[in-house]
Structure 1
Amino acid sequence: MGGPKQNKRVLHEDDDDAYERDEAIGVEPLDVVAMRQLLESMGADKFEPRVVSQLQEFVHRYVTEILVDAQEYSMYADKQTIDADDVRLAIASRLNHHYAQVPSRELMMELADKRNSIPLPPISNEYGVRLPPIQYQLITKESDRQEQEKLQMLFALAQKLLQ
């Protein structure tokens, strides 16, 4: 039982030389093997080697964030250790706030039918640049300024008549 552990694969080894030793004898870490098997079980037979490392990085970051949140919940509850309820609460909180829930297919079809029932506006037969309706164009004359000038002229005329 006290023999060398050269060919053993451990999930997380604390040895500093573990990576170099595994590379030298061609042994993949257990988490890499598990990630490859997971990808293959989902039908991804061909993928780049970087995919495995990216997924490992994502899983590591996600688990770390979950555990940090669980630790905060545990500290808030004045507990010394993190229990399963803290982890469940952290996962539920992260799911509710960080990942969007995809609406059901039926709801999306209902919304699409409602939107598609509204006809599109007719396309005019005019050629050239199509401008928005005249009241929304910034190139039209400013009616407010003209109305103010007319009011000022009428006010000046009324003052002359009153004098």
Structure 2
Amino acid sequence: MADSQSHTATSNDSQEGNSMPKDAQTIAAILKETGVANYEPRVINHLLEFSYRYITDILEDAKLYSNHAGNSVISKEDIKLAIQTKLNHSFTTPPPKDFLVDLARQKNTTTLPTLKNYTGARLPPDRYCLTSVNYRLKDQSSMHKKPYWQSASEAASFRNAAGKQSTVGVKRKWRDDEEY
């Protein structure tokens, strides 16, 4: 899907560029100079939004520094200070590669615990699973009793052809059931 919507820098860009704002043309030129040939058109909008937000924040901070110093005009030093504080607070530099290599070597010296040999899927205890049994079969002796939800005529309808009551049945657990 991204390939069908991707943008390819061609000679037709100069004709398209006339309909784009000047800042968008500048971003497209930067992408072209850095060797980015295929990109989605939204990339330019995202980069424009980021640059506008970044520049606005820098200028607002520089204005605050200028007002704090008692100046009515923003100076070059105020902008440098605003950029430096933005870099210190918003963007972090990655740790040196040597530090990361040493840290990885140190972590990799500890051995991993051995896995227990299980067959099948590893599941938590039955009381936490929905796979546990939520019913039980009735005993042979209790099958001859009339269930509390049946009347005498319903009990007669459950008798088999030989006139005996069925000996196999499933009983679900109910809150008000006294047999459980």
Q: Compute the TM-score of the two structures, normalised by the length of structure 2.
A: 0.53
How far does residue 72 in structure 1 lie from its aligned partner after superposition? 0.5
How far does residue 28 in structure 1 lie from its aligned partner after superposition? 3.4
Of Structure 1 and Structure 2, which has the larger fraction of its residues in helix? 1
What are the superposed Cα offsets for residues 107-157 of structure 1, whole Å, 9 maximum, x if unpaired?
2111111111111123334668588xxxxxxxxxxxxxxxxxxxxxxxxxx
Q: Distance in 1 between matches of 2:123 and 2:105?
A: 29
Pairing of 1:6-155 with structure 2 (within 5 A): 26-125=18-117
Aligned residue pair count = 107
Q: Distance in 2 between matches of 1:125 and 1:48?
A: 49
Which protein, 1 or 2, shows the higher relative CO under an 8 Å CA cutoff with sep ≥ 6? 2
How far does residue 90 in structure 1 lie from its aligned partner after superposition? 0.7
Which ranges of structure 1 fall in alignment gaps of 5 or more residues?
1-24, 132-163
Q: Distance in 2 between matches of 1:53 and 1:130?
A: 48
Q: Distance in 2 between matches of 1:125 and 1:27?
A: 66
- Radius of gyration: which is bigger? 2
Which ranges of structure 2 fall in alignment gaps of 5 or more residues?
1-16, 125-180
Give the percent of matched residue pairs that are identical in Structure 1 and Structure 2.
Answer: 34
Equivalent AA in structure 1 for residue 78 of structure 2? D
Q: Distance in 2 between matches of 1:129 and 1:49?
A: 47
Of Structure 1 and Structure 2, which has the larger fraction of its residues in strand? 2
Q: Compute the TM-score of the two structures, normalised by the length of structure 1.
A: 0.58
SS at match of 1:54: helix
What are the superposed Cα offsets for residues 32-59 of structure 1, whole Å, 9 maximum, x if unpaired?
2211111112221111222112111110
SS at match of 1:81: coil
How far does residue 104 in structure 1 lie from its aligned partner after superposition? 1.9
What residue number does 1:3 align with? none
Equivalent AA in structure 2 for residue 65 of structure 1? D
